[in-house]
A and B are shown apart, each in its own frame.
Chain A
Amino acid sequence: MGKSTRLAFGETIAQLGEVNSNIVVLDADLSKSTMSSLFAKKFPERFFEMGIQEANMIGVSAGLALSGKIAYACSFACFITGRYDTIRISVAYTKANVRIIGTHAGIGIGEDGTTQMGLEDVSLMRSLPNFSVCQPCDEIETRELIKYSVEHNGPMYIRLTRQNVDKIFDDNYKFKFGKGVQLTDGNDAVIFATGALVAEAFKASNILKEKGYSLRVVNIHTIKPIDKEIIIKSAKECKLIFTAEDHNIIGGLGSAVAEVLSENYPAKIIRIGLPDVFGESGTPEALYKKYGFDAESLASRIETQLKQS
């Protein structure tokens, strides 16, 4: 098991603070959970503890950004994207260099249940003009994405996990903003996955390989702007098309892929995500099983479809 992507974020931003003195970090009483505490410890004068005030934190971040700073505003994905209108006007409309860091995304957070789960955040942030939306799949990709984010011009939403996720990449990995990454070869089916489900899809491809099927896994770390090229190409080359994300089935990666295909290469796609319901309490493992997000469930769902096709 690798690290959680929130931990990789905290470690990386604390390192980057040394090389770029324009970086400022804000948190809303969750610094020990978002791991922004690692930055706070090293750079107390550039860290702002805002208390439980997410809307104020976003507005202050916009002000910091509009006067020359690169602001990382951190909280759980649900609370921070929940301050939507403030994000919309103070950050998006203004093109402020604010990086909204939403941790504890998805049902993968487990027992705390629905009120703490970011389940609609991608949908919300994707619909804001000027915003980019990224979700790294492992610690290495997170590190590279955060490094990239310092240079990026414009607002970004970065979605991270609470739970540990398998390492997919090695140290030589080069992150390319806006580009999907093909992880396995295959033509029977393609699965476009993001975040924690990339590792599950990768394991599913191994399960299917044993059964004689080849699954192409494509990691979509940048959900907006999305990599149309890799989506269209994979759709053309594979018999079946799936998407997988720990997010509501409406408005997230599945919708983004559907938009691309319907306009460029109409094809049937099967979206895997939360079926337009709220989450619930349970262990992360039990929840992943119940909602069909674990490798075994993904593999058996894909196999069933392959047998029918």
Chain B
Amino acid sequence: MYTHNQLQQIANELRIDIIKAISRAKSGHPGGSLSAIDILVYLFFNEIKRTKENALDPDRHRFVLSKGHGVPALYAILARIGLISYEELMNLRVLGSRTQGHPSYLDLPYVEASTGSLGQGLSVAIGMALTAKIDKKSYRVYCMTGDGETQEGQIWEAILSAPKFNLDNLCVILDYNKSQIDGFTKDVMDLEPLKAKLEAFKWNVLEIDGHNFAEIENAFNIAREANGKPTYIIAHTIKGKGVSFMEDNVEWHGKAPNEKETELALQELQKLLVKNG
């Protein structure tokens, strides 16, 4: 187990990798990658404990990134674990690379599912959780969705169906950064009151600060104990977290920083490392 300080340090280091990779690709989605990275770092290092050895083990815990555009965060983690090389991470979106602009399962099996058309990943995760039940396996299935993504009808079909199958081995994490492309989620198509809706749909619902490792840890612990019910973690996050000019700024949903902006972002992120380390 990593300490929360260690995880914070790793997450901030990976923030640097994310910015570098998107900047080199000259395209990609920084906002939703930076909001998700703390949760993903906790998940991969302390919860599912992904390593090179267990990466394709049939009994491994599964993770589906339903908001596929956040994949730079996932590639950064895979590179850190050594499942892809640093060069591959930096070849994000380059012709012929396994690090496609959105997750491609056949190119890179470590991403578990092909995603990027929003609204589909949670259903796939349910299928994996059902398999664990049928096969009497103890692996758990985790799925991260976006708040904009949660407007999709298929997400609500999935939310309706998971409790029917008593999928207490399924855990959804909503990266609730409150914004999407056309604006703030509350203006585009409000989800609230979300907790009440999910409880009415018979889920075990938790609400946390998605940048606080103690709260993240606590939520995953509770999810593991949930009996008979799938767990939905509403993780409040900040889009673009860590780079002041990207934070809560809709403009940085899907745009690469230019050279100067990259330098500024990296300077800020470097400072976070020193403070923490």
Contacts and interface: CB of A to CB of B under 8 A. Distances in A.
B189 A50 contact: yes
Contacts of B117: 78-79, 82, 115
A49 B95 contact: no
Contact size range, B:
20 to 34
Interface string B137-168: 00000000000110111000000000000000
Given A29-B181, A52-B148, A113 B189 contact: no
B151 A53 contact: yes
B232 to A, nearest CB: 18
A290 to B, nearest CB: 7
Given A51-B148, A52-B180, A53-B152, A115 B115 contact: yes
B116 to A, nearest CB: 3
Given A32-B181, A113-B93, A53 B116 contact: no
B95 A281 contact: yes
Contacts of B222: none
A53 B180 CA distance: 13
Interface string A33-55: 10001000000000001111101
A191 to B, nearest CB: 26
A50 B182 CA distance: 10
Contacts of B151: 29, 51-53
B96 interface: yes
B154 to A, nearest CB: 8
Nearest to A82: B117
A111 B102 contact: no
B145 to A, nearest CB: 11
A237 interface: no
B175 to A, nearest CB: 14
Contact size range, A:
20 to 34
B189 A281 contact: no
Nearest to A76: B117
A287 B95 contact: yes
A56 interface: yes
A27 interface: yes
A111 B181 contact: no
Contact of A53 (B101, B153, B182): B153
A90 to B, nearest CB: 14
A52 B27 contact: no
Nearest to A278: B104
Nearest to A53: B151
26 contacts: A29-B181, A29-B188, A37-B182, A50-B189, A51-B148, A51-B180, A52-B119, A52-B152, A52-B189, A53-B153, A53-B189, A55-B153, A79-B117, A82-B117, A111-B25, A111-B28, A111-B101, A112-B93, A113-B102, A113-B116, A114-B100, A115-B115, A116-B102, A116-B116, A281-B100, A283-B95
Interface of A: 27, 29-33, 37, 49-53, 55-56, 78-79, 82, 110-116, 280-283, 286-287, 290
Interface of B: 25-28, 68, 93-97, 100-102, 104, 114-119, 148-149, 151-153, 180-183, 187-189
